[in-house]
Amino acid sequence: MADLAAIHRALTESGPLTGAGLQEATGEEVFGLWKACQSDQFVCRRIGRRYLRLDRTVPGYARLSPSILREFVTYTVIGVPEQAATVDREAAKLQRRTVAISRGKRRVAERFMAEVLDEVLPEPADRDRLCVLIAGDVVFEMSHDVSRRESSTGGLVDGSDLDLVLLAADDLDDEVVEALDDAIRKRKWLYLRNPALREEVDYVVKRFSKLVEQAGFDTFQHMVACKVFDEAQFLTGNHELHEAGRRLLAERNVIDRLRDLEAQAAVRRAERERYLLGVPGDELPDDGAQHFYSPDEAAEFEHLT
């Protein structure tokens, strides 16, 4: 079992800590630490919000992000009951920092796309048949800057990636679409490898007709594409093209279906937390990993679990 006295001592001596800070201070395995902190011996304040993610490994595909593990280590402040007011202040400080990180990453995305568009479509009028959107942690103001390894290079990147969606009108020349894809791909590697940047950029360039096809919501890939478009926010280009895409998803009842999936994910999250709290001992069972963190986090959190 987690050493409750050691946890209490670390919090008393250091003041309220995030889950990651508490794990470092105590050396406890993070699953047992998370379980221990759910008791009334401690005060936990979670910041930010939970939002829908689609995951092939989950029945029905719907889960909430952040995972239980990410939420605990990055977005939760823990203290002892007599520190409740300080916990609230530290949580508010963490919230402000998380928002600042998200807005900073949004500015990086704006600069990234400005560089791409200045290269491929230098005249503003040429951008009328294109809109650029940003999705992912940034739009929920939940970005973090915890260093992690990027899978394709093995190099370190600074926290949350930048998810970009370029929606092109069907009459935009093929050569322009190809040039945009090529320019983004080259600049993606620059931002990834440059030690002064260390930003991972994920992107997709697609035509409006592709979004129409994806609005069928009939395959996992189409569901993911619709979810990303639904959450995405306008960055630059033709705002009307973005609005047309939003109307398309609404008319096809895709947005309502995504809200239903989010509600299902919230119910499943509560069930997962109850299951994990009922696991005897502090060792995460083999069938519990998928309840505690997502597959893409497995390598990142291996040293903690």
pLDDT of amino acid 302 = 47
pLDDT of amino acid 303 = 41
Host H or E run for residue 78: strand 76-79
pLDDT of amino acid 124 = 83
Contacts 24+ apart (CB under 8 A), 299-303: 299/149, 299/151, 300/148, 300/149, 301/30, 301/69, 301/73
pLDDT of amino acid 26 = 95
Q: How would you classify residue 304: left for phi > 0, otherwise alpha for psi between -120 and 50, otherwise beta?
A: alpha
CATH 3.30.460.10 in the chain is located at 107-252
pLDDT of amino acid 154 = 54
Secondary structure class of 162 (helix, strand, coil): strand
Six token digits for residue 19: 């889950």
Q: Which residues contact 126 (CB under 8 A, 6 or more apart)?
A: none
Kindly list the distances between the CA atom of residue 262 and the CA atoms of 17, 53, 163, 268, 293, in Å, as whole numbers in the listed order: 30, 8, 20, 10, 17
Question: pTM score, two decimals?
Answer: 0.90
Six token digits for residue 67: 């995972």
- Residue 34: what are its φ and ψ, rounded to 5°? -60, -45
| pLDDT tens digit at each of 305 positions of the chain | 688 999 999 999 999 999 999 999 999 999 999 999 999 999 999 999 999 999 998 889 999 999 999 999 999 999 999 999 999 999 999 999 999 999 999 999 999 999 999 999 998 888 999 999 999 999 999 998 877 665 555 566 677 889 999 999 999 999 999 999 999 999 998 888 876 778 889 999 999 999 999 999 999 999 999 999 999 999 999 999 999 999 999 999 999 999 999 999 999 999 999 999 999 888 887 777 788 887 765 444 444 44
- Is residue 181 within 8 Å of 142, Cβ to Cβ? no
Architecture of the structural domain at 107-252:
2-Layer Sandwich (3.30)
Secondary structure class of 297 (helix, strand, coil): helix
- Is residue 253 within 8 Å of 216, Cβ to Cβ? no
| Residues across the chain | 305
